[in-house]
Structure 1
Amino acid sequence: MKFVDLLAMSLKNLSRRKLRTALTVLGVVIGTASIVVMVSLGIGLSEMNRELISSFGSLTEINVENPYSGDSSKDPLYLTEDVVKQMKRLPYVTDVYPMLQVNVLLQQGKYSSNVTLNGAPYEYLKKIPLGQGKLSDPSDKELKLIYGNAMIQWFTDSKGNNTYWETGQLPDVDFMGKPMFAIFDTDTYYQSQGGGEDAPKPPKKYLIKADGVVEGGVDDYNSYAYNVYTRLDLLETQLKKIFKKRAIPGQPTNKKGKPYRYLIYNSCIVNVDDVEHVETVQKKLTDMGFQASSNADWMKQSEQQSNMIQAVLGGIGAVSLFVAAIGIANTMMMSIYERTKEIGIIKVLGCDMKVIRNMFLLESGFIGFMGGVMGLLFSEGVSFAINHLLNVGQAMTGMSGNISRIPLWLAAASLAFAVFIGMAAGFFPALRAMKLSPLAAIRNE
């Protein structure tokens, strides 16, 4: 018998008992929808965690810092230019960006703010997305600043009042329109403000222009939002010019209290070619004696938790589909009892046993297919409703994006699984139909 004829006969048999078939399909619909929705929640949660962690920085970046050493008998280990060169030679490392941080007081009109100025290589600054302005050409030797999009929140008036968090109004600070006064020797500055005969002379103020402002609103968070950046080479030149032979604030000194002949970086950002190699490189950096951390650490823990959640949610949904499989088996068994005489006639006419088996497998498989398709459509509706409710409550939850996500592979896998469950549930009833005695089946009333 041709497959088309066999399929037509199976559909005709299912249509004889429309209500029973519809109720059996409904069980598969509920089971399929339960699995898809549950797993989609796990997938959405995992992807939202990944997106959240990625917003704090690239997953292929490793942050390296100077080690803490309480043993004064050993020579301290620092991030220097020579160490940076060693890191660049490590396998899988594509770039190393040394970072130098200094505390600076910025002033514009009556507004001021104490900020940490981050000196970074030009190649790193090129990666910062700017909403205003443009990064100067590398041939430009003038020190300029790049402001994070949320940095304006930290500026206060001369009395330290009327902050953005108190009034909800931004201070009248124009990063791009007006240059900023910068005081690098902040210790001397605050000592000079105390007055008295021993008060030192106020340090020199430097007028610095802006290269740009990071893209985004003042309340939008990204890894650059609350930082101020400038070129590392120009910052080093500026600091040497200001402090000369004196110790630069924040820079370590030797046992005699004198500054080193070279600058020591506060941290380094090590770029790895692939997220799969981050853990290997991170271990090598730790073995060198430095503190190394990455967003991949959080991601690994997050994915372990997400996998557990997906397994639990998927298991809950699988119970529903298992119950549906029992319903399919019951429907097939009832169909055999009702069609015992028909099966006997088919056998007497010389029909192949495999045809009888395949007929019942097709019927049960088609129940699974119909239930799977309708279950997927129902899952899409439930997923849309969940995401809509979440988007309405984003202001309260602090989350963004869809928490229920149904990728194409999940839809295809759930449909295939529904068909498989249907055919598996119909397998033993099909074997029973094959084993029926033709004469006994014909005599059956």
Structure 2
Amino acid sequence: MKWSDYGKLGLDQLRRRKVVTALCAMGIAIGSASIIVAVAFGESIAHYSEKQMGHYLKTDEITIYRGDEGGGAGRGLTKSKLEVIRSLPHVKAVASFVELGEAGFTIDGSKTGRVQLIATELEALTAFEHEFAQGSPNGGSNAVVLNYGAVRGVFDERTSQVRSRLMQENGGDRALQQQLRLMDTMPYAMYRKTMILQVGDGEQGGGMGPPGSGTSGTAAGTAKRVELPVRVGGVLKIPEEAPEYMIWNNKQAYVPYELAARLLELRKAANPAAAASLPSLEQPSQVVVKVDSTNHVAEVDELIRKLNLNTQNNLHRKEQMNGEFVIIRLIFGGAGLFILFVASISIVVAMTMSTYQRRRQIGIMKVLGANLKQIRHMFIVESALLGVLGGSCGIVLSHWVVWGINAVINRFGGGPGSGEPEILFISWWILPLGMFFAVLTGVLSGIYPAVKASRTDALTAIKRE
């Protein structure tokens, strides 16, 4: 017999026993859909976590922190060491950053907001995957570059007060709370405009104090507040696929070192007593090194450490998370396999019952010359076809389940940016995997009935019938 003949016989038997075929196919469909959804769940978690990690942790970057100056010579981030780092092999770019504290600002006369001031070389921003939505880093010594979050949530004081009052008075109104929170995500046109920075030393951590206040609120109450007009020379583009909460919680203004020096002088004039606590532009808070490939990060990191500098990279975190993702996939995949194993029991029972119901057919085939191998092949092909049918239904069922889960998450997720069009997804390679296990389940489940059928005594089977 040809394999096509086995296929025709198998299809004929599946058509004859519609109820049994439907029940067995349903069991395989549920099992294969379970393993597809389970593996997709683990894959989606890994993908989502890696995407989130990619926004916060760059695996091709090395961060150098300022060491303890009392720990020995060469611990600080000096200009000579930075030049040595720039000359190292596989180093694409080096940028230094000095945190200047938080500042309030006003723009267009009445609109207010807050930003975290960071001194850096503006030209280096593009080398670290910062793209400009408006403007460029070459805006002049009095120009600042705002990140994507700094232009959001900028509104006048009265709007801010009304918004806060409505949120307090309508805490149980979910729809209204959602609309009020969305105000933080609305961008305000700031490019090429003049923003007034309020400079002072009143807040903890070197902050500038709330906008519009006459003093900084120090314990002594003697610090003055001064204003510094600057021009918005550029606005950074939102990183691709960045979550919304990351956007409106991250408000930064990058200032060139020349402007940073003026800011520090104004802060010294505003509060001379706090001059000793101000940051030094000669000692960056941190330096970030961009490496041409993640394969060379460890090598460059080792060379930098030889300069007696404290470094940190995210390779170990990536390896740790990859190990955790493997465990997640194994757990969910194992759960799906267990469900598929339970479903295979029904196939074994149904196919075994089929051998008793078809004893006469088997006996006649043996009398006509069918050997044991052909009898076994007939049952195994039939169970494999049952697996194909169940696996196909399982693929359709798994897509329905994934669509339903995504719909529930997007409907009840809540919060700006929490809902995404596709939280859970099925990668292309998972579908063949689900079909493979479905067919494998059918074949393995048909082995025992096939052996049982091949051992049927032909004469006895015909006489009993």
1:365 Cα offset (Å) = 0.5
Residues 225 and 212 from structure 1, CA distance in 2 versus in 1: closer, same or farther, beyond 3 angstroms?
Answer: farther
- Kindly provide the amino acid, as one letter, of the partner of residue 195 in structure 2: M
2:174 match? none
Residues 415 and 153 from structure 1, CA distance in 2 versus in 1: closer, same or farther, beyond 3 angstroms?
Answer: closer
Distance in structure 2 (CA, Å) of the matches to 1:219 and 1:367: 47
Equivalent residues of 1:356, 1:430 under 8 A apart: yes
Unmatched runs of 5 consecutive residues or more in structure 2: 167-179, 203-207
Q: Give yes or no for the alignment of 1:176 onto 2:187.
A: no
2:354 match? 335
1:415 match? 435
Equivalent residues of 1:149, 1:218 under 8 A apart: no
Deviation digits for residues 284-342 of structure 1, max 9, x if unmatched?
A: 65675544445555544444444333322222222221112122122222222222332
Distance in structure 2 (CA, Å) of the matches to 1:282 and 1:377: 49
Distance in structure 1 (CA, Å) of the matches to 2:341 and 2:28: 9
1:258 match? none
Q: Give yes or no for the alignment of 1:64 onto 2:38.
A: no
1:412 Cα offset (Å) = 1.1
Distance in structure 1 (CA, Å) of the matches to 2:162 and 2:78: 39
Distance in structure 1 (CA, Å) of the matches to 2:400 and 2:52: 26
1:373 match? 392
1:143 match? 142
Residues 209 and 359 from structure 1, CA distance in 2 versus in 1: closer, same or farther, beyond 3 angstroms?
Answer: same
Aligned pairs (5 A) from 1:340-359:
340-359=359-378
1:28 match? 28
Q: Give yes or no for the alignment of 1:129 onto 2:131.
A: yes
Equivalent residues of 2:118, 2:254 under 8 A apart: yes
1:415 Cα offset (Å) = 0.5
Equivalent residues of 1:152, 1:218 under 8 A apart: no
Residues 274 and 334 from structure 1, CA distance in 2 versus in 1: closer, same or farther, beyond 3 angstroms?
Answer: farther
2:233 match? 211
Equivalent residues of 1:214, 1:224 under 8 A apart: no
TM-score (norm 2): 0.74
1:404 match? 424
1:84 match? 82
Distance in structure 1 (CA, Å) of the matches to 2:71 and 2:193: 50
Aligned pairs (5 A) from 1:297-312:
298-312=317-331
1:363 Cα offset (Å) = 0.5
Residues 149 and 102 from structure 1, CA distance in 2 versus in 1: closer, same or farther, beyond 3 angstroms?
Answer: same
Identity percentage of aligned residues: 24
Aligned pairs (5 A) from 1:237-386:
250-251=278-279, 263-275=282-294, 278=297, 289-294=308-313, 298-386=317-405
Distance in structure 1 (CA, Å) of the matches to 2:45 and 2:319: 14
Residues 223 and 76 from structure 1, CA distance in 2 versus in 1: closer, same or farther, beyond 3 angstroms?
Answer: farther
Equivalent residues of 2:81, 2:307 under 8 A apart: no
Equivalent residues of 1:179, 1:207 under 8 A apart: yes
Distance in structure 2 (CA, Å) of the matches to 1:397 and 1:203: 35
Equivalent residues of 1:104, 1:182 under 8 A apart: no
2:100 match? 102
Distance in structure 2 (CA, Å) of the matches to 1:185 and 1:365: 77
1:123 Cα offset (Å) = 3.2
1:64 Cα offset (Å) = 2.5
1:162 Cα offset (Å) = 4.9
Unmatched runs of 5 consecutive residues or more in structure 1: 253-261
1:50 match? 50
Choose 77-86 or 331-340, whichever is displaced more.
Answer: 77-86
Residues 209 and 430 from structure 1, CA distance in 2 versus in 1: closer, same or farther, beyond 3 angstroms?
Answer: same
Distance in structure 2 (CA, Å) of the matches to 1:239 and 1:405: 49
1:276 Cα offset (Å) = 5.8
Residues 289 and 331 from structure 1, CA distance in 2 versus in 1: closer, same or farther, beyond 3 angstroms?
Answer: farther
Residues 278 and 329 from structure 1, CA distance in 2 versus in 1: closer, same or farther, beyond 3 angstroms?
Answer: farther
Q: Give yes or no for the alignment of 1:230 onto 2:255.
A: yes
1:277 Cα offset (Å) = 5.5
Distance in structure 1 (CA, Å) of the matches to 2:254 and 2:26: 61
Deviation digits for residues 50-85 of structure 1, max 9, x if unmatched?
A: 22222335443333311346xx36235122333334
2:172 match? none
Distance in structure 2 (CA, Å) of the matches to 1:39 and 1:274: 30
1:357 Cα offset (Å) = 2.0
Residues 27 and 280 from structure 1, CA distance in 2 versus in 1: closer, same or farther, beyond 3 angstroms?
Answer: farther
1:395 is paired with a residue whose SS is coil
Distance in structure 2 (CA, Å) of the matches to 1:37 and 1:303: 20
Distance in structure 2 (CA, Å) of the matches to 1:33 and 1:288: 56
Tell me how many residue pairs correspond in the alignment.
423
Equivalent residues of 1:119, 1:235 under 8 A apart: no
1:75 match? 73
Choose 432-441 or 409-418, whichever is displaced more.
Answer: 432-441
Equivalent residues of 2:62, 2:290 under 8 A apart: yes
Q: Give yes or no for the alignment of 1:433 onto 2:433.
A: no
1:180 is paired with a residue whose SS is strand
Q: CA RMSD in A?
A: 4.4
